[in-house]
Amino acid sequence: MTDDTIRTAAHDPVRVEALGIQREGFRISDVSFSVPRGGVVGMVGPNGAGKTTAIRALLGLVAPDAGTVRTFGCAPGSPEALARIGIVLDQPTAAPEWRVDSIGRRLAPFYAEWDDALLRDMLDRLGVPRTQRVGELSRGQGVKLTLAAALAQRPELLILDEPSSGLDPASRRQIGDVIRDFMIDPDHAVLFSTHITTDLDALADDLLVLVGGRVAYRGPLHEATETFAIARGAGSPPREHVLGVQRSGAGWTALVRMEDSAVFDAGTVIDTASIDDIVIHLGAEHQGVAA
């Protein structure tokens, strides 16, 4: 490793190594990933895969039982790190009776770089009514409010937990546009989790697939669809060279590695795998293992 790569690694906004969290009925094991400057990492996985828990561990809201978590080289949850992170969780973290136009006045004293003009601009751009109370906002407006407030902090890293879940396509596009604008600065970075894999195609450079609390895939997004393929056939699915199987009627589909696609017989059709295919089949394999 050269000095340059060491320095780059040391300055990664997020570094997670062998993260382990065990709670009643839930476990994350050996999760490692990083978010480099200039990078957008999309985290996907079935419900209960550990996406939200991993994000909460990054923020210091949940304490890891094993492994190392660093944000900007600091312990998770340290004020120094949190001052550089804009956070959008799945629900607005604001009292329902607060008026939207009071958010800036309330939060600004905590952030040295707070930009109230940017907050107002973002609220107008995203169509969040400034005179309403937080409790009167729709889910989409609540997410947009949280995103606007996160950006007004002038963060270097944006962490978003399911920002587009339950939003209409127009709102999802608005949020995607805002994230792309944020990434114009090469020092910025984004980590987001999602159920909607089209968001990944639009935004992410790197993909992190979590299944059953473990990393099922980690790497460049474009390589994921080149690494895996979907095999389709009838009758009983093969047992070897298969990463996950789904049965449908008399047939089956299986996630396989592209390099293994030649081992299947002529009756098996090999197709390109989409991100949805990868997540669904890896999740199906996990459920099968768990059963």
Partner 1 sequence: MSLVFARFDLQSWLPRTQTLLPLAFIVVIGVVLPVPGMAIAASAIVTMLLVPTPFLGDERGRLDTLYGTLPVSRTSIVVGRTLAIVALNAIAVIVANASTLLVALARGGSPDPQILLLVNAGAFALVGLAVALQLPVFFRIGYSRGRLMAYAPALVIAGLAWIGQETGLITSNVAPPAPIPVLAAIGFAIGLIGIIAGAVVAARLYRDRELR
In this chain, which stretch among 101-109, 123-131, 170-178, 195-203 interacts with partner 1, using CB under 8 A?
A: 101-109
94 near partner 1, judged by CB under 8 A = yes
Count the neighbouring beta carbons within 10 Å of the beta carbon of residue 264.
Answer: 20
| Residue from 8, 22, 68, 91 binding partner 1 (CB under 8 A) | 91
109 near partner 1, judged by CB under 8 A = yes
- Comparison of 19 and 134: residue with beta carbon closer to partner 1: 134
The beta strand positions in the chain, using DSSP E, are 14-23, 26-35, 40-44, 66-71, 85-88, 157-161, 189-193, 206-211, 214-220, 228-234, 244-248, 251-257, 269-272
In this chain, which stretch among 93-101, 124-132, 219-227, 273-281 interacts with partner 1, using CB under 8 A?
A: 93-101
- Comparison of 65 and 201: residue with beta carbon closer to partner 1: 65
| Residue from 38, 48, 83, 227 binding partner 1 (CB under 8 A) | 83
**Binders of partner 1 in range 51-70 (CB under 8 A):** 56, 59-63
**Shortest distance (Å) from residue 165 CB to partner 1:** 16
Q: Which residue has the tokens 């095999």?
A: 231
From residue 131 to residue 150, what is the string marking binding to partner 1 with x (rule CB under 8 A)? Answer: ---x----------------
| Residue from 110, 168, 177, 223 binding partner 1 (CB under 8 A) | 110
276 near partner 1, judged by CB under 8 A = no
50 near partner 1, judged by CB under 8 A = no
Assess contact for 173 and 140: CB atoms under 8 A.
Answer: no
Which of 250, 255, 243 has its CA nearest to residue 289?
A: 243
Distance CA 159, CA 247 (A): 36
**Shortest distance (Å) from residue 221 CB to partner 1:** 27
Backbone angles phi, psi at 65, to 5 degrees: -90, -20
Angle, CA of 203, 48 and 215, to the nearest 5°: 60
In this chain, which stretch among 103-111, 163-171, 204-212, 231-239 interacts with partner 1, using CB under 8 A?
A: 103-111
89 near partner 1, judged by CB under 8 A = yes
C-beta pairs of 69-77 under 8 Å, 24+ apart in sequence: 69/15, 69/16, 69/17, 69/19, 70/14, 70/15, 70/16, 71/13, 71/14, 71/157, 72/11, 72/13, 72/156, 72/157, 73/10, 73/11
Binding residues vs partner 1 (CB under 8 A)? 56, 59-63, 77, 79-80, 82-83, 85, 87, 89, 91-98, 106-107, 109-111, 134
